[in-house]
Structure 1
Amino acid sequence: MPLVQISIAEGRSDAEIRSLMAEVHEAVVRAIDAPPASVRVLINQVPTTQWLSGGETLAEKAAAR
Structure 2
Amino acid sequence: MPFINVKQLAGRSEEQTAEIVRALTEAYAGVTGVDPEKIWVAVEEIPATHWSIAGETFAEKKAKAAADAQ
TM-score, normalisation: structure 2 = 0.89
| Unmatched segments (≥5 aa) in structure 1 | none
SS at 2:63's partner residue? helix
Counterpart position of 1:54: 54
Runs of 4 or more off by more than 4 Å in structure 1?
none
- Identity, in percent, stands at 29
Counterpart position of 1:38: 38
After superposition, the CA RMSD in angstroms is 0.6
| Unmatched segments (≥5 aa) in structure 2 | 66-70
Structure possessing the higher radius of gyration over alpha carbons? 2
Q: Aligned residue pairs: how many?
A: 65
SS at 2:26's partner residue? helix
Write the distance in 1 (CA, Å) between the matches of 2:20 and 2:54. 26
